[in-house]
Amino acid sequence: MTGVLGRMPEGPLTADLLGAPGVVPGPVTVTARLVFLLRSALAGPVPAPAALAAVAAVHGALVLDTADGAAGPRVVLGPVGRPVREVDLVLEGCLLEVDGQVVDSAAAAAAEPGVALATAAEVAEGVIAGGLVVTGPLTEPVEVAAGSRVAAHFATVGPIACQIVRPNGRSGGAS
């Protein structure tokens, strides 16, 4: 259920920017999002339906950012990718949990995934085949303390979770 951890750059996220599964230094803010894995390159401007036709798979993701933004956002990519035709990009539901308690819920329509993909293709001056594009947030940002476990449960693309740790690598509690 734990996904792949990577750093989110300006523009599209590429597969080479994802690292091994792991823990994330906290405290952080977290949002649940969708991520598109592209089967073919996109260069904008392109209409949203054409952009979606270039998608090989849709994944769930958690995007985590430190309170001061100094470390930059991090993406925890869900392990389950579904073909875009199997995911309702308007109704894909998501529950965001912190330490087993639901803190937010949303549907993919909030992030306008097709528009996000088309915009990334134009703004980033193209996205390569095999590239990953992160949508806008489905859920509101939630502050999460070190020691907490964060999970997102997506209706179609499955669950994803990560543990937030103190910057020294410990998972919370007394130092």
Domain that holds residue 139: 4-165
171, part of any domain: no
Query: What total of structural domains would you count in the chain?
Result: 1
Q: What is the pLDDT along the chain (175 residues), one digit of tens a residue?
A: 333 334 343 334 433 334 333 455 557 889 999 888 888 888 878 888 888 888 999 999 998 887 666 666 778 888 889 998 899 888 899 999 999 999 999 987 756 777 777 777 777 666 777 888 888 888 999 999 888 899 999 999 999 988 887 665 555 443 3
Q: Which helix (H) or strand (E) holds 95?
A: strand 93-98
Q: Helices marked H in 35-146 — which ranges?
A: 48-53, 113-123
| CATH code assigned at 46 | 3.90.850.10
Q: Per the domain annotation, does 157 fall within a domain?
A: yes
Helix, strand or coil for residue 50?
helix
Is 84 among the domain residues?
yes
Q: Is residue 174 part of a domain?
A: no
Pairing state between β 158-165 and 93-98? unpaired
Please indicate, yes or no, if residue 79 is contained in any of the structural domains: yes
Bridge partners of 106, per DSSP, are 94
- Residues 111, 34 contacting (CB under 8 angstroms): yes
Integer angstrom CA distances of residue 20 from 4, 15, 33, 113, 154: 6, 12, 19, 26, 22
Per the listing, tokens 């528009």 go with: 115
